[in-house]
Amino acid sequence: MKISKIKGGGRQVELVGPESALLHQVLEGLTEAYQTAPGELDPMVANLWYGRAGLKEAGIRGEEAIHWIEGLHEVRLGRQAALQRWIKSLPKAGHPGVWKIAEEDVETLVASLNDHRLRRAGEFDFGEGDLEVKAMEKSKGDKRVALVEIHFLAWLIELILHE
């Protein structure tokens, strides 16, 4: 993967086949997860995206707490159009190619990719030790797939933020 700044803003990402396949998987998975109501999500994921920690103590209870969580869900639902745009602009799954991201999409893209990392970590209840590269090398099956996604997206986020 190689990333460069487009003249006038935005980013251009050169992807190899497996990277485009993985990004399709990530963005399609996010589309579905964002459409899912907070109460129907995996509880560990819901806790990371729509956590209620501290609300009660801050006096945010009942209707107000519901409104707070709904607001967080609405923000994520609002990313749907961008997600569809990115899926369309990605090279075909499994094919190498260039992916262009508009400057105004950078913030939402980074937040969405980070959400996917949180989601995958929540699904497997990963802690600090699980997220070390050594742990990924030793892992197997679905856990390994989740860790590969988490590390790949960390790399992509770092490249986008530093370019």
Binding site for another protein (CB under 8 A): 48-49, 51, 53-54, 57-58, 60, 68, 71-72, 75-76, 107, 110-111, 114-115, 117-118, 121, 126-128, 131, 150, 154, 157-158, 161-162
Altogether, the residues listed in the chain come to a count of: 163
Query: Smallest distance from the beta carbon of 92 to another protein, in angstroms?
Result: 29
SS3 160: helix
Q: For residues 33 and 119, is the Cβ–Cβ distance under 8 A?
A: yes
Query: Smallest distance from the beta carbon of 59 to another protein, in angstroms?
Result: 8
Nearer to another protein, 16 or 157 (CB): 157
Q: In whole angstroms, give the CA distance from residue 130 to residue 108.
A: 27
Q: Which residue has the tokens 């030790």?
A: 129
Nearer to another protein, 45 or 91 (CB): 45
Q: In whole angstroms, give the CA distance from residue 12 to residue 29.
A: 23
